[in-house]
Amino acid sequence: MVRFSAILAFERRPVKKMKFFPEERVKKTSSPPETPPQPKQEPEIKKRIIDSVVLNVKGGVGGCGNPKLRGKGGKGGDVYFIATKGESLVGLKKKLPYDQIHAESGGNASNLNHCLGRAGSDKWIPVPVGVNIYDNIGNYLGSLSKENHSLLVAKGGEGGNTKNEFRIRGGQSVTAKVQLQVVADVGIVGFKGSGKTTLWNHLTLPLSMEIPPIEPTKYADVRKMTYPDLRVIRVLDTPSFRLGMQDEKQGQQVLSYIKRTRLLLICLDATGHQLGPKKRLNLFESYLCLNKELQLFHPKMMSRPTVVVVTKINRPDSQFQEFESQLRNIDEYASMLPKESRPAEFFNLRHLVGMDLRHREEEKLNRLWESIRVFIDEYEFEREEKEKEAATFIRMHGRHN
């Protein structure tokens, strides 16, 4: 009873009310102020040129032989790349989204009626015309420059037979990189502020279309320039050129795009270029600076046709007229500069034009369109003639190691 009464007495004790926060503070913490809904920001889309695709290919496994009957297993199928007109790298990746492509395995030598196993079917993969093939460590495997040309990439395994003691062989496994030989027909190169993206818009957009606001070019991009007879020429716009691009990953990628073009379109500011806080290049020095950097990266670019477009020619401090005379005697004027500023070989300059990109000068643009087409056709004709001469020489004299 004592215990029970004590419990009852404890239960009758009044419970003290505990105050945690004032009412105003409780309201603030329990229901935070509503914020107006924010518009959803779209993720930044990085423009990127798909110039290569990596495919994992594997030849078929050889078939099992039959030691009792001396039966020979069938050879595994091979994997070939074949140049197909109209094929693209984007389409190739969509058709073959899976990681590894296998050729068919060879058949087994099962009984007296099948002493010779059937050979596995070869796998033919269509790739674009004009590609180079490399393995995963950069070794050159071959090129496909003409339609219907093919290249053996991965061999199938040998079937079981008496020579290999009936041990079947697996197919060759190769990680193949398919890379375009030409990214674009024309590559625009220029320093920051030279107007190269505006020039790119003038060349590729219809005359009736208003030029969009210009933003700094962060990623390389390609557009088409279509002629009245439906001839299409692709034009590459690149980020602003700067010294030391060869030492940067993105810079190396941009330079590799420029290397795989047929014509160089150099865009220069008529007032020169501010190279650093204390150094400014005049127009002629800017031209030679670009010349030397590209020549050091890939000397063969110097043989390609080059068109120079000088912008801002109506400025009071324009150096365009002086630049014209300097180009006529480029050896003489280049010799006046320090040795470290002179390139070993000059651009193959074919055309020079001065423009004011604030207005669409249709007459100059039309001449530029026609000049680009003519120079590209001449370059391709000369290149094909050289290939024919080289092929004729090999047929007559053989290939020397």
pLDDT in tens, 67-119: 877 888 889 999 999 999 989 888 888 887 666 788 999 888 877 667 788 88
Residue 31 lies inside a defined structural domain of this protein: no
pLDDT at 4: 44
| Same domain flag for 80 and 148 | yes
Say what the pTM is: 0.77
Residues 234, 239: Cα–Cα separation, whole Å? 17
Residue 152 lies inside a defined structural domain of this protein: yes
Choose one of 180, 214, 243: the last residue of a domain.
180
Residue 41 lies inside a defined structural domain of this protein: no
Residue 243 lies inside a defined structural domain of this protein: yes
φ and ψ at 46, to 5 degrees? -85, 115
Q: In which domain, by residue range, is 283 found?
A: 184-386
Residues lower than pLDDT 70 in the chain: 1-48, 97-99, 112-113, 207-208, 213, 390-391, 393-401
| Same domain flag for 332 and 349 | yes
Residues 400, 398: Cα–Cα separation, whole Å? 6
Parallel, antiparallel, or unpaired for β 184-190 and 261-269? parallel
The answer to whether 183 and 235 are in contact (CB under 8 A) is: no
Choose one of 120, 148, 180: the last residue of a domain.
180
| Same domain flag for 326 and 373 | yes
Structure tokens at 311: 């912008």
pLDDT at 45: 35
| Same domain flag for 192 and 140 | no
| Same domain flag for 202 and 292 | yes
Residue 21 lies inside a defined structural domain of this protein: no
The answer to whether 369 and 286 are in contact (CB under 8 A) is: no
Vertex 203 angle, CA 209 and 221, to 5°: 95
| Same domain flag for 226 and 285 | yes
| Same domain flag for 237 and 122 | no
Nearest Cα residue to 153 out of 270, 55, 290 = 55
pLDDT at 390: 67
pLDDT at 368: 93
| Same domain flag for 219 and 166 | no
Residues 280, 46: Cα–Cα separation, whole Å? 32
pLDDT at 291: 94
Residues 269, 277: Cα–Cα separation, whole Å? 18
Residue 400 lies inside a defined structural domain of this protein: no
| Same domain flag for 159 and 231 | no
* CATH number for 235: 3.40.50.300
DSSP 333-385: HHTTS-GGGS-SS--EEEEEEEE-TTS--HHHHHHHHHHHHHHHHHHHHHHHH
Residue 176 lies inside a defined structural domain of this protein: yes
Choose one of 153, 180, 207: the last residue of a domain.
180
Residues 39, 132: Cα–Cα separation, whole Å? 46
| Same domain flag for 301 and 240 | yes
Residue 22 lies inside a defined structural domain of this protein: no
- Which residues on neighbouring strands pair with residue 102, listed in sequence order? 58
| Same domain flag for 207 and 356 | yes
Residue in this structure with the two tokens 């007109």, named with its chain if needed: 85
Nearest Cα residue to 260 out of 83, 90, 130, 89 = 130
pLDDT at 127: 93
| Same domain flag for 122 and 73 | yes
Q: Specify the 3-state DSSP secondary structure of 62.
A: coil
The answer to whether 252 and 246 are in contact (CB under 8 A) is: yes
The total number of structural domains in the chain stands at 2
